[in-house]
Structure 1
Amino acid sequence: MDGSAPKDNNTSLLSSPFSSPNVSALLKIKIISWSQETGLPASVCVRVGGRFFNLHKYPLVSKSGYFKRELINSNEVELPQDFPGGPETFEMISLFIYGSSTLVDPFNVASLRCAAEFLEMKDEYSSGNLCERFDIYLNQVVLQSWEDTLIVLQKCQSLDPWAEELLIVSRCIESLAFMACMEILDPERRRDQPVVTLEALSTQRWSSAMVQKILTQNVWIKDLIALPFGFFKRVIGSLRRQGMKEKYVSPVVLFYANSALFYENGAKENADVLLKGILDLLQIGGTGGRVIPVGFYFSLLSESLKLKLDKEYTSKLQNQISRMLHMAQVEDFLLPESGTDDISSSIEMTTMEKIVSTYVVFNMCPNDGNPSPYSSVVAELWDAYLTRIASDAKICAKRFMEFIEIMPISCRQNHDHLYKALNTFLQASSLASCIMVHTELSQDEKNMLCKYLNCQKLSNEVCIEAVQNELMPLRLIVQALFVQQLSTHKALKECSDSFRYAHCGDFSGSIPSSRFANSRSQNLVDSPWVDVEDTRNLPLSFLLEKEMEKPDLCKKEYESTSFRIQTLEQQLLVLKRSIQLQNNSKKREQVSKKVTSCIGTMNLASQRKYASRFLNVFRRLILFSRTKAKKKPSVAGVWTKTM
């Protein structure tokens, strides 16, 4: 990201091209040349950080107000330890004093400008003195280039307070912020890769790998997050002052936090101070904070818990996450660290309880009295989270019920995740009882745990699994069987209605299919319950002749299907009686055997098969009964008869 001025070919981002040996050799040549020209020896000794410089008095006093005062009564001067840049910088200043003007670059201009200020090398002592010349170089060369400005800003870290007082740091920060704004606003300066926004980040799960991939495509962001936090914080403030939208500013803060807190390995010094500063930059609670990925907030919250940050900051994070909880993924939630003695009372679980409870308080009963439309999403997330922690055998039944009750049952539109959580907990408890960790759960405890499950809100697959699950209490199994029975009746009724509505118009020729708007099988080919060939488009005479060829076979199939249907009804009656006797403890074993014997007949595939065959035979018998009156009627006569 360059400005109007191109970068000097001799300047590298790694090191300055002007090394100390080269400068020392040039300085010696200058001193010898001056002595030869003037015939005067080098009579002044200047000591800087352990090094001695023998120089001529006149050049020093003619360009430096500092030396003009110090050399009145003495020819020896010792510069203080905090002299900007140290001996290397003074060596270069000496070269400029002797007339050299070619050794300035972005790597040394900041230290040279601070040293010149210390030595008072201003225009009042000599026209075109070093202070003014370095300012011109900074303004017209360095601050017009993104890379050069970054170099100067990095070098200013060791020049405090001189660089701050001379506004070198401020000018660099404002220049970087301006060029960053131009990178986004000016299409001609924009790079090939698109600018990163929070909208783009919200479609991806937050992770360090994702951040690193984005940084390889956005060099200007990568450069900014390499700055020390003090400078980075000021750059962000300048970006906002200059009008950059928050959707562009916040990703830069997110990437900086990821690099400084999560990506770098090893212990980080002053990590708590850094985290507090990042939280302040994010403006949590404002409009900009709502578009930051909630997964990133969870990462910050996890880090704040590890660092034991002030409650003020953790509370802000928890409240912000509660507002955006419906946008989270279960992978974002805090999980207790492995090896935790008591997961149920860990800091992570306690924090997650507070977050979900806060969400319930502020979203379950808004002004209109109706729950938030996202409540069911949060309920499923919470149940999926409980499934993850339910495998810990140390969680007691009472504590697990408290976790379930945090989210009101009315919010759970689907109970599949809740069933999985309960099943995982029962499996862990059963295994724990086998290894004598604690006693096995009683039937009453299982009933209390499973009272939250509504079998009518289970999917068909999960409901069938619940029926066959030996860990589930008998009451739940019976409820699941009853729901399956209702589903069977409904399926048979829909099949019957589908057959009648789809074929009535073909046989009578008087009832159009449009009268049955609610029929699920207006198109018989698409119906999953009919396993026969499509005969709607065949002539009626062809159907009659086909059925008259095998009347005995049709009758036999009808009797067989009728017998099977009667058997199924008897089994359903037995099931109803078993439900009425479920509270009788002496007959529980007998009920279980009957329930087990009925499971096979409740199989959905068998229901479809019986219904399909029944409909096939029923259709054939109707045709057969209509043709029985006449042995060989003509097609026209049959049509008139049916009319």
Structure 2
Amino acid sequence: MQKLMLATHFESEFFLFDDACILDIDNFVKRLSSIKEKGVRPDLIGSIITHYASKWLPDLLDDDGKKTIPNAEESPESVTTSWMKKRFFVETLVGILPPEKESIPCNFLLRLLRIASMVRVEPAYRDELEKRVSWQLDQASLSELMIPSFSHTCTTLLDVELVLRLVRRFMNLDEAVRSGAALIKVTKLVDCYLAEAAVDSNLTSSEFVALASEVPSHARAMEDGLYRAIDTYLKAHPGVSKKERNRLCKLIDSRKLSLEASIHAAQNERLPVRTVVQVLFSEQNKLNKQILDFSGPFSGMLSPNIALDASARCLSKREINVQQMEIKRLKEDVLRLQSHCMALEGKIDKLMEKKKGFLVWRKFGIPTLRGNRNEDVEREAEVGIGLKTPLQMKTRLVNTKNANKWRKSLS
């Protein structure tokens, strides 16, 4: 209790003098060192740093905070001078951050990383910020993670390479740190980030696949978020090749799609036919499993050893009606998806037959324009070009016979 009162005393003492030392960061560092020597908790040290940094650098405030825009007449300075001050300030802040992981909020570190990328701090300070963000990446928000790309060599609007490095650092942490709940949060964050970055026309499929594959597949209980991101990418990149399209769709596990996502995927013309068939097959398996689960209680009631099963019970009439309606609805959905898939396959077969027929006509040199078929047969007989296929031989005999009858009738 006495230690807590001492920490509160030093924190209030600092805030009384923060206006005086806000223009002198060296004085701030000295006063902060004296406060650390008194044994103040790391989270209080972190709150002091965030308060001081937000007041000196308004860019570090969140959207809810009030950003103070300095008056150009009161502080006239060039852009280069302003950037040099920000770089020195960020590097100094990174050097005095407490070593404890939870001492500084993740969103504040992301805003600090955004400014560090903009003013191009030294790689060592940038690496330290990325390491601290990866420690608590599961607490990051999507808006703070969407850091623009300030590099001239990067073609994308967002710094996708930065996010990829953060996710890789997080995946390399100890198993205790990236527990199940934290891993699921990071996976959802990655899927939402991909859906936002997919609209960028300069984002390559390799970058998309690299970031989507960085998190393990078992961390996605449902694949709807990843499917939404892939569909957004295909919509924004209509010229993507068939190979890249198949590579992107291989990321989706059709067994983990919801019914709404499966219906959308079955009617999505941007997806390859193989992916649509896999979605339909997965829905069929789900339906068969539900039918088996539904028939299980009835088979148990008919069993002679039902008295030995303590967990067996008779379903009420209302529960049976609800399950029957659900099964009926699922059957209708699967039939609708199957009919749509069969229609797509029929269109593909017609296109292939049309293309094959065109090649056969070109191969045998048979004219495709309208004309007198009898004259063509007679011309072929005179030249000596025989028809090769049985169907063409039959046509030749029939046409020749009709021609002879026509000549006899005239005579």
TM-score (ref. length: structure 1): 0.43
Partner residue, 1:382: 190
The answer to whether 1:259 aligns with 2:55 is: yes
SS in 2 for 1:414: coil
Shift of 1:422: 0.2
User: Structure 1: how far apart are the matches of 2:283 and 2:295?
Assistant: 18
Structure-2 change in CA distance of 1:183 and 1:321 (3 Å): closer
CA gap 1:459/1:571 in 2 versus in 1, 3 angstroms: closer
Cα distance in 2, alignment partners of residues 251 and 489 from structure 1: 56
Q: 2:280 aligns with which of 457, 481, 494?
A: 481
CA distance in 2, matches of 1:389, 1:347: 7
Decide whether the 8 Å contact of 1:379 with 1:407 is kept in 2: yes
Query: Could you tell me which of 3, 8, 19 is aligned with 1:226?
Result: 19
Aligned letter for 1:234?
A: K
- Unmatched 5+ residue regions in structure 2? 60-66, 71-78, 354-411
Given the alignment of the two structures, is residue 400 of structure 1 paired with residue 234 of structure 2, yes or no? no
User: Structure 1 residues 518 and 425 mapped into 2: Cα distance closer, same or farther (>3 Å)?
Assistant: farther
Whole-Å separation in 2 of the counterparts to 1:443 and 1:517: 52
Amino acid across the alignment from 1:323: W
**Cα drift, residue 425 of structure 1:** 0.3
Counterpart code for 1:476 = T
Deviation at 1:264, TM superposition (A): 3.8
Matched, 1:277 2:40: no
Answering whether residue 391 of structure 2 is matched by residue 391 of structure 1, we say: no
**1:497: Cα distance to partner?**
3.3
CA contact (8 A) 1:524 1:530 kept: no
CA shift digits 1:45-102 (9 cap, x unpaired): xxxxxxxxxxxxxxxxxxxxxxxxxxxxxxxxxxxxxxxxxxxxxxxxxxxxxxxxxx
How many angstroms does 1:446 deviate by?
Answer: 1.5
Asked if structure 2 preserves the Cα contact closer than 8 Å seen for 1:342 and 1:395, the reply is: no
Q: 2:258 aligns with which of 459, 464, 467?
A: 459
Q: For 1:505-526, what per-residue CA distance to the aligned partner results, in whole angstroms no more than 9, with x for missing partners? A: 9xx99956x937377x856545
The answer to whether 1:293 aligns with 2:87 is no
In structure 2, the partner of 1:586 is 349
In structure 2, the partner of 1:323 is: 135
Mapped partners of 1:240, 1:359: distance in 2: 29
Aligned partner of 1:348 among 159, 184, 197: 159
For 2:32, the equivalent position in structure 1 comes to 236
1:441 counterpart = 2:237 = no
Q: Hey, what does 2:370 align to over in structure 1?
A: none
SS at match of 2:172: helix
Q: Aligned-pair distance for 1:388?
A: 0.6
Q: Report the 3-state secondary structure (helix = DSSP H, G, I; strand = E; otherwise coil) of the residue aligned with 2:282.
A: helix
* Distance change (3 Å), C-alpha of 1:411 and 1:511: closer
- TM-score normalised over the length of structure 2: 0.65
* Separation (CA, whole Å) in 2 of partners of 1:256 and 1:528: 64
- C-alpha contact (below 8 Å) 1:225/1:259 kept by paired residues: no
| Counterparts of 1:456 and 1:270, CA distance in 2 | 54
User: Is the 1:391–1:424 contact (alpha carbons within 8 Å) kept by the matching residues of 2?
Assistant: yes
How far apart in 2 are the matches of 1:224 and 1:450? 58
Asked if structure 2 preserves the Cα contact closer than 8 Å seen for 1:455 and 1:480, the reply is: yes
Closer/same/farther in 2, CA of residues 444 and 272 from structure 1, 3 Å limit: closer
Amino acid in structure 2 at the alignment position of 1:252: I
Equivalent residue in structure 2 for 1:515, among 289, 297, 309: 309
Q: Secondary structure at the match of 1:226?
A: helix
Counterpart amino acid of 1:586?
D
Instruction: Please give the root-mean-square deviation of Cα atoms over the aligned residues, in Å.
Output: 4.5
Give the % identical residues: 20
Aligned partner of 1:529 among 322, 346, 362: 322
CA spacing shift, 1:300–1:518, aligned 2, 3 Å:
farther
1:540-577 Cα distance to aligned partner (Å, 9 max, x none): xxxxxxxxxxxxxxxxxxxxxxxx99x98x969x88x9
Q: How does 1:124-143 map to 2 (within 5 A)?
A: none
Assess, with a 3 A threshold, how the Cα gap between structure 1 residues 237 and 341 changes in structure 2: closer, same or farther.
closer
Partner of 1:18: none
Which consecutive residues of structure 1, in runs of 5 or more, have no partner in the other structure?
A: 1-177, 187-217, 431-439, 533-563, 591-643
Q: Distance in 2 between the 1:293 and 1:527 partners? A: 51
- Tell which structure's C-alpha radius of gyration is larger: 1
Aligned-partner Cα distance in 1 for 2:287–2:351:
24
CA offsets per residue over residues 229-253 of structure 1, 9 Å max, x none? 3333222222211222222221111
Higher relative contact order (CA 8 A, sep 6+): 2
The 2-side partners of 1:463 and 1:472 are apart by 12
In 2 relative to 1, CA 180–398 (structure 1 residues): closer, same or farther, beyond 3 Å?
Answer: closer
AA partner of residue 230 (structure 2): L
CA distance in 2, matches of 1:394, 1:304: 24
CA deviations 1:129-165 (Å, max 9, x no partner) are xxxxxxxxxxxxxxxxxxxxxxxxxxxxxxxxxxxxx
- Kindly indicate whether residue 119 of structure 2 is the aligned counterpart of residue 307 of structure 1: yes
Residue number among 126, 146, 149 corresponding to 1:334 in the alignment: 146
| Cα distance in structure 2, aligned partners of 1:528 and 1:428 | 45
